[in-house]
Amino acid sequence: MTNLKTGLLFDVQRFSIHDGPGIRTTFFFKGCSLRCPWCHNPESISAKEQLKHDPKRCDLCKKCIDFVQGDGISIVDGKLKIDFQKHEENFALIDVCPSKAYGKFGQRYSVDELSTIALKDKDYYTYSQGGVTFSGGEAINQMDFLCELGPTLKNHEIHICLDISGFISLKNLERSLEFTDIYLLDYKLTNKSDFKSLLGQDFDCKVILDFLEEKQKEVILRCPIIPSINDTEDHFKVIADYSKQYSCISYVDILPYHNLIKRENFNYINKPQIYTVPSATQKESWILWLKKHHIKKGIIEGESI
Ligand code: SF4
């Protein structure tokens, strides 16, 4: 039967080794309900296709300025300045530019197209006990599409990880149970007063953990640690406590903040905030806290804690 639904993705990464066990193909879905200021994939936040501009390709020929009659695009201090609020979806600019400086974040794929991509590396998945990961953004926000892609991949005996934040609907989570082998659950903050101001939403990750524990689903708890935001002993204590309290958590993956933003060379809306990269000494203190609070099993940058 032909599948007519499409999903909106901003990236496809083959041979990924950081998004679950083994060698994996990661599908990055566009659209997220959170607004984490440290997000490494800020182009994932909007659920729409978005205009981007590469200044390295731009030779300031002014053709795009003429095209919009100077409305929202100009040259300031020798650089092209674009009002992305105004032109975020003005994709006609892509064809106007002779230097191909404009492009688009976001591409629609059918279930068949993504299945074909995933199946190219099936031998690697089998060899490494890997598979496919649905990530984002928040992949689960495109649930109708996942409900067709997931079972299609399962028919080919492909292992599936689903990357989720704690801010998702239990109804969608329930729908994902039939095709998801492992959940990669982000645990970002412990201090409740930070949720609304930093993430844009108020929620409790425990609700998701309780649900997945009851359903006996495996969870890898992924904890991005951002200096000056959540690198406190209280936060590490809760991480260690969860690892012991929930049998569904197979291990905790500590993800130290890095500033390797994939799209830093482009101009577009939603540029991320830059934080201080943690030092080796800071990371050592995190490990000591986790050990002090008897973490069940954890890794940091691929090394066991
Ligand atoms: S048309 Fe292209 S090369 Fe010319 S100013 Fe605009 S972005 Fe730059």
User: Is 1 a residue whose pLDDT tops 80?
Assistant: no
User: Is 38 a residue whose pLDDT tops 70?
Assistant: yes
**What pLDDT does residue 118 have?**
98
Extract the tokens encoding 78.
């020798």
Q: Is residue 218 part of a domain?
A: yes
Q: Name the nearest CA neighbour of 210 among 177, 172, 247, 235.
A: 247
99 ligand 1 Cβ < 6 A: yes
Total Cβ atoms within 10 A of residue 234: 11
Residue where the block lists tokens 């053709």: 63
Mean pLDDT in residue range 74-93:
95
Atom of ligand 1 nearest to the CA of 61: 4
Whether residues 27 and 101 fall in one domain: no
C-alpha to C-alpha distance for 80 and 102, rounded to whole angstroms: 12
Identify the residue whose C-alpha is closest to ligand 1 atom 3.
58
**Higher-confidence position of 9 and 272:** 9
60 ligand 1 Cβ < 6 A: yes
This prediction has a pTM of 0.91
74 ligand 1 Cβ < 6 A: no
Whether residues 58 and 203 fall in one domain: no
Number of domains the chain contains: 2
Whether residues 97 and 221 fall in one domain: no
Q: Is residue 1 part of a domain?
A: no
81 ligand 1 Cβ < 6 A: no
C-alpha to C-alpha distance for 60 and 82, rounded to whole angstroms: 12
Contacts of 110 (CB under 8 A, 6+ apart): 3, 4, 5, 6
**Containing domain of residue 249, as a range?**
6-46+109-304
61 ligand 1 Cβ < 6 A: yes
223, 241 Cβ separation under 8 angstroms: no
Identify the residue whose C-alpha is closest to ligand 1 atom 8.
58
Whether residues 100 and 22 fall in one domain: no
Which of these ranges, 115-124, 127-136, 264-273, has the smallest mean pLDDT? Answer: 264-273
